[in-house]
Amino acid sequence: MKEKIIEFLLKIFAMISILITISIVVLLLFEAKDFFKEVSFVELFKGNSWNPLLSNPSYNIMTLIAGTLIIALIACIIAVPLGLLIAIYLSEYATRKIRGFLKPILEVLAFIPSVVYGFFALTFITPFLRTFIHNLEIYNALSAGIAIGIMVIPMIASLSEDALRSVPGSIRRGAYALGSTKYEVTTKVLIPAAKSGIISSFILAVSRAIGETMIVAIASGSNPLFNLNPLKSVQTLTAYMANVSMGDVSYSSVEYKTIFVCGAVLFFITLVLNIIARKIINKNKYNF
C-alpha cells in the first residue's frame, strides 16, 4: 500500500508539470487568436518595423525575431567554446584542489541576478568596447550578447563537466592503455562519448539566451526597425513584452494582445530548438 501511495503521488507531481505547460500553451494561443481577429497573419511580415503602439501601427514581427536571434548568436559564440573548455579543464586536467576552488567561483556567476549583468553590460562592456569600436551605440546588441554569454557560461560548463565525468573510467583507462595522450583521450574518446550531454547543455544555454529579459531590456535598447547590425540598438521579443506589460496599454486592446503573440512565437522557437536537440541527442547517444 505504501508503494502504491508513493507511485500515485509521483504521478500527480508529473501530471502537474504537464498541466502547467498545457495551460501556458492554451493561454498563449487563446489570447493570440483574439489578436488575429483584428490583424491578419500577413501583417506580421509586412513593413520593416514593429510599432503596434503608433497611430499607424506596423506589425513586422521579424524585427523582434532578428534582434532576439542576433543577441542569442553572440551569446553562444562567447559561451559555447568557453564553457566547453572550462568543462574539459575541470573534468580532465584540474587537480581536486583546483577543482574545489574553481567550481564555487564558477557557480557564483550563475547566481548573479540578470539585472546586474544588464547594468554591467551598459556601464562596463559598452564603454570598454567603444574604445575600440567608435561607431558602437550606447544601447547595442553586441554588449547585451556578451553579457548573456558570460551569464550562461556556468550552465554549459557545469552540465558539460557532468557529462564528461559520467563517462565510465574503464573507457579512459582503455584509451590510455592503447598509448593515447590526455589530449587524444579527451578529444577522440570522452567528447564523442559525452556528446549527447554536451549538446543538451548547448541547447539549454541557447534557450536561456533567447528567453533572457532584463539584460536585453537594459543594454540592447528598443529600436523597432529591422536591423541585423550588432553595433546598433535592437529590440527583442522578451524586451518588448516587458516594456508593454509595464506600460499604460489597455488590457483588452490589440496592443496588449501583441504580448501573447510574441510569447507564442518565443514558445515556438524554443519548442523547435528542443525538438532538434532531442533528435540530435538520440542520434548521438551512447549506451554504457
pLDDT digits (tens, 9 = 90+) for 152-195: 998 899 888 888 888 888 888 888 888 888 888 888 888 888 88
Of 23, 28, 35, nearest to 263 (Cα)? 28
C-alpha cell at 7: 507511485
Neighbours of 124 (CB within 10 A): 12
C-alpha cell at 154: 556556468
- Whether 150 and 75 have beta carbons less than 8 Å apart is answered as no
State yes or no: pLDDT of 285 exceeds 70: no
The one-letter code for the residue type at 117 is Y
Per-residue pLDDT, 200: 84
* Residue-wise pLDDT tens digits, 87-146: 999 888 888 888 888 888 888 887 888 889 999 998 999 999 998 888 888 899 999 999
Residue 78 neighbours by CB under 8 Å, 6+ apart: 145, 146, 149, 150, 153
- Whether 48 and 63 have beta carbons less than 8 Å apart is answered as yes
* Residue-wise pLDDT tens digits, 38-94: 887 887 887 777 888 777 778 888 888 888 999 999 999 999 999 999 999 988 888
State yes or no: pLDDT of 237 exceeds 90: no
- Whether 201 and 156 have beta carbons less than 8 Å apart is answered as yes
Per-residue pLDDT, 82: 92
Instruction: Report phi then psi at 245, rounded to 5.
Output: -65, -20
257 vs 144: which has the higher pLDDT: 144
Residue 116 neighbours by CB under 8 Å, 6+ apart: none
**Mean pLDDT value of segment 189-212:** 86
Per-residue pLDDT, 30: 84
Per-residue pLDDT, 187: 85
Per-residue pLDDT, 201: 87
d(CA 235, CA 51): 11
**Percentage above 90 pLDDT, the chain:** 15
State yes or no: pLDDT of 288 exceeds 60: no
Q: Is 219 left (phi over 0), alpha (psi -120 to 50) or beta?
A: alpha
Per-residue pLDDT, 257: 83
- Whether 90 and 161 have beta carbons less than 8 Å apart is answered as yes
pTM for this entry: 0.86
State yes or no: pLDDT of 245 exceeds 90: no
Any idea of the CA torsion for 11, 16, 22, 27, to the nearest 10 degrees?
170
Longest dimension (CA), the chain: 73
Per-residue pLDDT, 16: 92
Which residues is 59 bridged to in the sheet? 50
